[in-house]
Chain A
Amino acid sequence: MTTPFLSVRDLKVHFPTPDGIVKATDGLSFTLEKGKTIGIVGESGSGKSVSSSAILGLHRHTNAIVSGEILLDGVDLLKISDEDMRRKRGADVAMIFQDPLSAMHPYYTVGSQIAEAYRVHHDVSRKKAKARAVEMLDRVGIPQPDHRVDDYPHQFSGGMRQRAMIAMALINNPSLLIADEPTTALDVTVQAQILDLLQDLQRDFDAAVIMITHDLGVIAEMADDVLVMYAGRAVEYGAGKEILTHPEMPYTWGLLSSVPDVAGDTSAKLIPIPGNPPSLLTPPPGCAFNPRCTHKDKVPGDLCTTVLPDLVPGVRSETHLKRCHLANPDAIYEQEILPEILPELVEER
């Protein structure tokens, strides 16, 4: 087996606080190939953004304790010097942020900010960098790019700002792109435009993409692999289609059954996950999801509340990993969950 392009192994990001250690990410592992997309799903505070900023080296010189291994093309990003990291950041690894208005400087023109990203990594004149910025703006579908390049961020609409952010992220041809909730702040029709654009660009640049979102619908359309995070840990990981059609972890079931649908039967039920996400300061013992899990009575004894399950292959395939004590999740999903959330599918059978 060849080594994967990006390999994250046992990544831990811990924040010491006066009240104790906050384990924002606690042992996260995944791999990603060039041209592929991994979708990381989870609620606020599940550690998805913290993990991705660790890949960019953004926890250096903070009080965060980062351990584990992040191998990008064979180089451990956690071991290289600050200077080397600075050279990679923005050039090999780039990031698209959620809110393009706060991610851009209001006093500088859009063009100068994009050109700056280019000049940091290339020894070119301002003029050349600006020409390259115009080229990128054109590539991401901004009309009249040679004219709009001199606009300020407030003169752009939300969708255009996000396009400009993408232009800035891709100007150095990064091989790894981290998109942190890239469409959450956008309207659905604009979201559709941006998702299509990201897919096009990924094909052209052959970049690996980490897509962080809480929207399972976006994941369903974009991701090859899916990683579901809960309380700092992966709880389910595998091929996207496999996870969305045959989820084996009650938290993933909960996510699927708590979103209403625009199509399908209106008798489909909306079943919330009871309770609130746990505190990362004092996570519940055993499985972190156990206080909210409605299936823990199906597990013998008090395994769920005492023993943290390992991330192990599920019942269907070797590559579909789940962190749960349930012995027959497949049957429970088919018999108890599906009829509630997709009644028309069950009728068809």
Chain B
Amino acid sequence: MSNFWPGDAGMPSEEPVGEDATDEVTEFQEPEMGHAASVADWGAKPILDVRDLKMYFPVKSSGVIRRTIGHVQAVDGVSFQVPAGGSLGLVGESGCGKSTTGRLVTRLYEPTGGSIEFDGRDITTISARSLKPLRREIQMIFQDPYTSLNPRHSVGSIIGAPLAIHQVVPKDKILPRVQELLEIVGLNPEHYNRYPHEFSGGQRQRIGIARALTLQPKLLVADEPVSALDVSIQAQVINLLQDLQREFGIAFLFIAHDLAVVRHFCPEVAVMYLGKIVEIADRETLYNRPNHPYTQALLSAVPNVKQAAIGGRRERIQLEGDVPSPINPPSGCRFRTRCSLAQEICARVEPPLLQIGKRHKVACHFAGELGHHPDRPITASLLGVDDTGTPDPGASPATDLGNEPGYSDTWFDLERKTMAKA
């Protein structure tokens, strides 16, 4: 982009505001009122390609000699792709490893295993020196707008810091660009010399977004970008992110626990449980025809106001107990301790993330739509085991059950129990 992002193209218009923060209610005005859910471009090339990513945090013993006594398997073999200019949603409950995945992608952590490829470059283990230019291209939006902005820095210096650090523009050009960015995110450009405490939560989140946009990133990792905001403000920020994505073609790795927000923002969604992806699919498939019992339970647990308003409540699938410890996760399938479908095979063999549709992968021996789960494990013949999970000497296990990111042209058809093609 030769000309630094034009701030006037389709961006919210500004009105001058008074000194008192309470007058600022008229500040943000949408040119059009609402936005429908984001639409996917399925032909887009992946900008981020994550393969079998692992992050184990050591657990140390107490005492003088702090031996490593175990590992928290925060992320354990996760593969996915984010298309250029598109978005992938990562959902799951606390402790499932979704935030760790986000931090690995931004290389705030060095992964224990696997690979991260960004725009054709392997960035898994590159040095701190070569990371610096990478930071221009991958930026992060944080959850809490109260703790992620330095209270002693003015908004101008917060947003201008990346410009100064990366020396993208001469010093005297920093301020005009900061003002341009403030305008892009719907804040008054005259407010560059104010401090974070003078802004409301939603406005602070806009400042955080402006900071992330400063270096024109190609990928934004948004870790719970709206969960700290009031509902009416949440919608403003989601719409702003949609505008920015459309305008500047930024790809998003969108991490959130709110299934409804993710559904609105991401055409493709991955569900994580205890460090693994249990189901990944395009939005329509995942939300309308989930095949993993965890996804089904998760979706049924969301209280749904609009549906409740027109026709009473749906049956909830109750999950018993809590998520097990990631230090010592259950053998086989990690969800089996809370799963109503679990059988012997689930404790013995880990289910592979099997592609069962054009854009649909699921990791379950008994994958099927709600109420139509098969009686016998679908994966037994592929894995070369019998129905209880004991290795079957006569069987020939499929060799290509690798943990590959993206989707292939052929998949396992659940109905016919054979491989199918598009």
The chain A residues found within 8 Å of chain B, CB to CB, are 43-44, 143, 157-160, 187-193, 195-196, 214-221, 241, 244-245, 254-264, 266-279, 281-282, 284, 291-292, 294, 340-342, 345
Once the chains bind, are B322 and A258 in contact (CB under 8 Å)?
Answer: no
Once the chains bind, are A272 and B232 in contact (CB under 8 Å)?
Answer: yes
Would you give the shortest CB distance from B156 to chain A, in whole angstroms?
21
Using Cβ atoms and an 8 Å threshold, which residues of chain B touch A340? Answer: 33-34
Is B308 interfacial (CB 8 A cutoff)? yes
Would you give the shortest CB distance from A132 to chain B, in whole angstroms?
25
Once the chains bind, are A43 and B305 in contact (CB under 8 Å)?
Answer: no
Summarize B's interface: helix, strand, loop or mixed. helix
- Most A CB atoms within 10 A — which of B26, B201, B236? B236
Asked, given contacts A188-B257, A262-B263, whether A269 binds B36 with beta carbons under 8 Å apart, the answer is yes
Roughly how many angstroms separate A6 CA and B53 CA in the complex, as a whole number? 56
Once the chains bind, are B34 and A191 in contact (CB under 8 Å)?
Answer: no
Once the chains bind, are B305 and A269 in contact (CB under 8 Å)?
Answer: no
- Most A CB atoms within 10 A — which of B26, B232, B299, B302? B232
Using Cβ atoms and an 8 Å threshold, which residues of chain B touch A270? Answer: 34-36, 235, 238-239, 264
Choice from A193, A244, A272 contacting B30 with Cβ under 8 Å: A272
- Interface 1/0 per residue, B179-216 and A, CB below 8 Å: 00000000000000000000011110000000000000
Once the chains bind, are A220 and B313 in contact (CB under 8 Å)?
Answer: yes
Roughly how many angstroms separate A44 CA and B232 CA in the complex, as a whole number? 11
Choice from B235, B260, B309 contacting A273 with Cβ under 8 Å: B235
Can you name 13 extra interface pairs (CB under 8 A) apart from A43-B231, A263-B304?
A157-B323, A214-B230, A220-B305, A244-B308, A255-B232, A259-B231, A261-B263, A261-B305, A269-B33, A270-B35, A273-B232, A340-B34, A342-B310
Using Cβ atoms and an 8 Å threshold, which residues of chain B touch A158? Answer: 94
Once the chains bind, are A276 and B203 in contact (CB under 8 Å)?
Answer: yes
Is B27 interfacial (CB 8 A cutoff)? yes
Choice from A159, A256, A262 contacting B260 with Cβ under 8 Å: A262
Would you give the shortest CB distance from B264 to chain A, in whole angstroms?
4
- Interface 1/0 per residue, B272-300 and A, CB below 8 Å: 00000000000110010000000001111
Once the chains bind, are B230 and A275 in contact (CB under 8 Å)?
Answer: no
Roughly how many angstroms separate A191 CA and B310 CA in the complex, as a whole number? 22
- Most A CB atoms within 10 A — which of B259, B298, B307, B313? B307
Once the chains bind, are A342 and B202 in contact (CB under 8 Å)?
Answer: no
Once the chains bind, are A244 and B309 in contact (CB under 8 Å)?
Answer: yes
Is B319 interfacial (CB 8 A cutoff)? yes
Choice from A256, A271, A282 contacting B33 with Cβ under 8 Å: A271
11 inter-chain pairs at a CB distance below 8 angstroms, sorted by A residue, are A43-B230, A189-B319, A192-B319, A255-B231, A259-B231, A260-B264, A272-B235, A274-B26, A276-B24, A278-B25, A340-B34
Choice from A193, A219, A345 contacting B310 with Cβ under 8 Å: A345
